[in-house]
Amino acid sequence: MFNGKLIMKKILLLTLALTISAIASAQTDMPADARLSETALFNRDYPRVYDDGRAEFVLQAPDAREVLLEFSEMGIKNPKKKMELQEDGYWHIITEPLTPGFHFYNFIVDGGKLNDPRTEIYSGTYGRSSGIEIPSPDEDFYDVKDVPHGRISVCYFWSETTGGLRRCTVYTPAEYDRKKSRRYPVLYLQHGGCEDELAWPKQGKVNFIMDNLIAEGKAVPMIIVMNSADISDFTFVPRGKSDSVMGSGNMGTYGQSFGPMLLNDCIPYIDANFRTLRDREHRAMAGLSWGAMHTASVGLGHPEVFSYLGCFSGFGRVSEQTLETDMNGIFADPARFNRDIRLLFLSIGENENRGTDKTCEMLARHGIKTVYYESPGTMHEWQTWRRSLHEFAPRLFR
Amino acid sequence: MFNGKLIMKKILLLTLALTISAIASAQTDMPADARLSETALFNRDYPRVYDDGRAEFVLQAPDAREVLLEFSEMGIKNPKKKMELQEDGYWHIITEPLTPGFHFYNFIVDGGKLNDPRTEIYSGTYGRSSGIEIPSPDEDFYDVKDVPHGRISVCYFWSETTGGLRRCTVYTPAEYDRKKSRRYPVLYLQHGGCEDELAWPKQGKVNFIMDNLIAEGKAVPMIIVMNSADISDFTFVPRGKSDSVMGSGNMGTYGQSFGPMLLNDCIPYIDANFRTLRDREHRAMAGLSWGAMHTASVGLGHPEVFSYLGCFSGFGRVSEQTLETDMNGIFADPARFNRDIRLLFLSIGENENRGTDKTCEMLARHGIKTVYYESPGTMHEWQTWRRSLHEFAPRLFR
């Protein structure tokens, strides 16, 4: 026993010495033009991002036959890339430059789709996905600054529509806790396909975008409510069919209960539990991609509830020929539309090419007012939607 | 184009039919004595849990040489188990019965430590870990019930101590939003080693435990504040040494800034932004494992700030011989201790065997009042700590 203890002590001392020398070498290991991705977990030294937008990943899996890096969103060309096994048992890759902002990714290890143990996990295209943050020239608008910070609440409420307890997230501006009798307008803000009510608070940086806008006096203080678009209604993908919920689901039923749930359950809960302004003039709705479709159907379909609307990277089918009946005839009377809908904001990534600009031009020819925003150099990705919120929020409740 | 559209329509109809038949077969695939773990992500049919506590896992990795299932906590015997490759390319295992409650796990795929893509991710022993929930005979106390639900806020505040913005999570009881002038007592509640401020809200189920206790009139409505114990101070583990932060860190510096941060930065922030009762009589502190050590050092070290203390599965070194000087002499004057500290609650898992009962007996012999709780049949695991909170909270602020 005595010898065993002595050996253990020696091993501990040796480990300590090795660790200290390894720390010293590891800390000088970071190239001058690289930094840790802000998504990296504590005590991890990867993934790294380079000044030119390249990203570097490692995975320790010494006995694997093949490891691929896969980007699971539309913003990345050539989404699958082979990683190289190094002598130390780590698989390694440096990508070509990626577009600025947030990207989902995962590894494929011998055919198994798995997340990177070195980075934060996000609700995304793959249920839960790894994420990386590429620095952006315009990141100032979502930087964490020394300004008053609002908070994000995770709230639980009962839904008669879905027959169960639901969770939503709520941003309250910094002053909400201090100005104890003031009431606030509300923006209902939706995520995209396969995400949930944590998407805007995490990869969307909704709180930091709003903290900065409000501190600069560019947006009025508002409450923002984020719901899951009933992602669990997505068609069940059985084992053996697919590890992904994308591409094999039935989009027809996906999120069908969302509208009644929002109107009949969530809004009454929010109005009962937060100091809200409870009329259409002080209610907005916006969303990205699948959430933009919800905004077009639920928001635009209920002008008695909402008067400001934002559709980021998505809108729905409208055409010059069928405009009078499209979207339940909301565009049939332009004068009434412009009176009821104080803002219809449509945005798109420059490289998405969905014809949103053409839609706005067509609507303008028919006297329908919209605001169009195009995110430079981005596709169907979070940088488009962060920028869209940053452009949209200052136009609300004025 | 016309033919292309027709073919697409036929493919869609075929896909729909195949999907419906697949759903039918997948739904009958679940054994009568099994159910999906409540941690499973949407559209996943694993991991499963059996009535007798066994758990079943799958991983699609057809080209892997070896896949292990690993439990990364102290509550599980034989933590690594070999999974079997089946003909369909899925690795598969059914474990022996596990103890009730929450367990961390991960897969080891050809030497790579990776998370299960089918289940929710938790802050834990491995940075981010997969989790599974084993049904428990006493799960009623943390069940989601039709009672008023409080909310969890994610709050940001500036810390002079650490020189940066920090995040804490705050439970406010359901009535907090309605009783707009009432002030509430505050419990500061800490996680364990390698976890963070999301541990109690996620695997700890703090909000559901408190919602139920408050609804039953068993606990007074209170605010609960959860901080990260400065996990980023943990010694850097360089690439090539370990994928885990456990076992190779320097526990001496781990969390050193926590005390000053809590006392000088967090408590003032909470008192300024929430409707708190701001005296020692209405302030409690508790924590599990590493958080119990913090409670013993910071909480018990500041009776001018806290008067109720709970140490779950951890306490610190006290002995009969050195009792007068242990923990800065707090036990030297038993009468004063019993007057200042309205509750010192020490708890432990029955199978942890840390001698906490002996500590309480020894303190009793010296006239020091404590309350001892032992969680039946559990070890150093979350079921011990959920039960500890459930026993501790009703004794606060009475």
pLDDT tens readout for residues A9-19: 443 333 333 33
Rounded Cα distance, A361 and A271, in Å: 37
Tell me what pLDDT residue A117 has.
Answer: 92
Cα(B228)–Cα(A302) distance, rounded to whole angstroms?
A: 43
Say if CB B375 and CB B391 are below 8 A apart.
no
Which residues from A are below 8 Å from B236, CB to CB?
23, 26-27, 43, 45
Mean pLDDT of chain B: 86
pLDDT score, position A55 = 97
Q: Where are the beta strands (DSSP E) in chain A?
A: 34-36, 48-50, 55-60, 67-71, 80-82, 84-85, 90-94, 101-109, 112-114, 121-124, 127-134, 151-159, 164-172, 186-190, 223-227, 283-288, 308-312, 343-349, 371-375
Chain A hits for B68, CB-CB cut-off 8 Å, are: none
What is the phi/psi pair of residue B10, to 5°? -65, -40
The verdict on a CB contact (< 8 Å) between B113 and A154 is: no
**Bigger pLDDT: B17 vs B68:** B68
Question: Is the pLDDT assigned to residue B237 strictly greater than 60?
Answer: no
A22 to chain B, closest Cα gap in Å: 6
Is the Cβ of B180 closer than 8 Å to some Cβ of chain A?
Answer: yes
Q: CA-CA distance, B252 to B250, in Å (whole number)?
A: 5
Sign of the dihedral through C-alpha A18, A22, A23, A28: positive
Q: Is the peptide bond before B47 cis (omega within 30 degrees of 0)?
A: yes
What is the C-alpha to C-alpha distance for residues A44 and B236, in angstroms, rounded to an integer?
8
For residue range A84-125, what is the model confidence (pLDDT) as tens digits?
999 999 999 999 999 999 999 999 999 999 999 999 999 886
Interface of B with A in 90-109 (CB under 8 A): 90, 106-107, 109
Q: Say whether pLDDT at B20 is over 50.
A: no
The reply to whether B314 touches chain A by the CB within 8 Å rule is: no
Cβ separation of B121 and A128 shorter than 8 Å? Answer: yes
With a pLDDT cut of 70, the percent of chain B lying above it is 85
pLDDT higher at B270 or A194: B270
Asked if B64 and A180 come within 8 Å (Cβ–Cβ), the reply is: no
Q: What is the pLDDT of residue A125?
A: 67
Interchain proximity B165–A149, CB inside 8 Å? yes
pLDDT at A77: 65
Q: How many CA atoms lie within 13 A of B29 on its CB side?
A: 15
3-class secondary structure, B183: coil
Each residue's pLDDT tens digit, B309-360: 999 999 878 899 999 999 889 999 999 999 999 999 999 999 987 789 999 9
Sign of CA dihedral B274, B277, B279, B281: negative
Please return the burial class of A111, using the count of CB atoms within 10 Å of its CB with bins 0-12, 13-18 and 19+: middle
pLDDT of residue B303 exceeding 80, the answer is yes
For the segment B205-210, the average pLDDT, to the nearest whole number, is 98
Number of H helices, E strands in chain A: 9, 19
Q: How far is B155 from chain A (nearest CA, A)?
A: 5
What is the average pLDDT across A227-249?
A: 46
Interaxial angle between packed helices A206-215 and A382-392, expressed in degrees from 0 to 180 and rounded to the nearest 10? 30
**Rounded average pLDDT over A163-185:** 94
What is the band of A24 on the pLDDT scale with cuts at 50, 70, 90? Answer: very low
The type of residue at B262 is: L
Judge: A165–B144 Cβ closer than 8 Å, yes or no: yes
Question: Chain B residue closest to A61 (CA)?
Answer: B112
- Among B90, B158, B241, select the one facing A22 at the smallest CB separation: B241
CA distances, A212 to each of A86, A276, B241 (Å): 44, 21, 40
Residues B58 and B94: their CA atoms lie apart, in Å, by 9
- CA-CA distances (angstroms) from residue A138 to A37, A127, A390, B52? 17, 29, 11, 55
Whether the Cβ atoms of residue B295 and residue B343 lie closer than 8 Å to each other = no
Q: Do B239 and A46 touch (CB under 8 A)?
A: yes
Among residues 73-92 of chain A, which lie with CB inside 8 Å of chain B? 88-90
As a whole number, mean pLDDT of residues A172-194 equals 94
For A347-395, the pLDDT digits (tens) are 999 998 778 999 999 999 999 999 999 999 999 999 999 999 999 999 9
With 50 as the cut, is the pLDDT of residue B224 above it? yes
**Structure confidence at residue A79 as a pLDDT band (50, 70, 90):** confident
For chain B, what percentages of helix, strand and coil (3-state, to nearest 5) are there?
30, 25, 45
pLDDT at position B316, please?
Answer: 79
**pLDDT for the residue numbered A44:** 84
pLDDT of residue A74: 63
Contact B110 A109 (CB under 8 A): yes
> Which chain B positions have a beta carbon within 8 Å of A111's beta carbon?
60-64, 89
Question: Are the CB atoms for A142 and A209 separated by under 8 Å?
Answer: yes
Strand boundaries in A173-248, DSSP class E: 186-190, 223-227
**How far is Cα of residue A352 from the mean position of the Cα atoms in its chain?**
17
Answer whether B155 sits within 8 Å of A154, measured CB to CB: no
Range name among A271-275, A301-305, B201-205, B242-246 with the lowest pLDDT average: B242-246
Residues 6+ apart with CB under 8 A from B398: B220
Other Cβ atoms within 10 Å of A367 Cβ, number: 12
Do the Cβ atoms of A285 and A177 come closer than 8 Å?
Answer: no
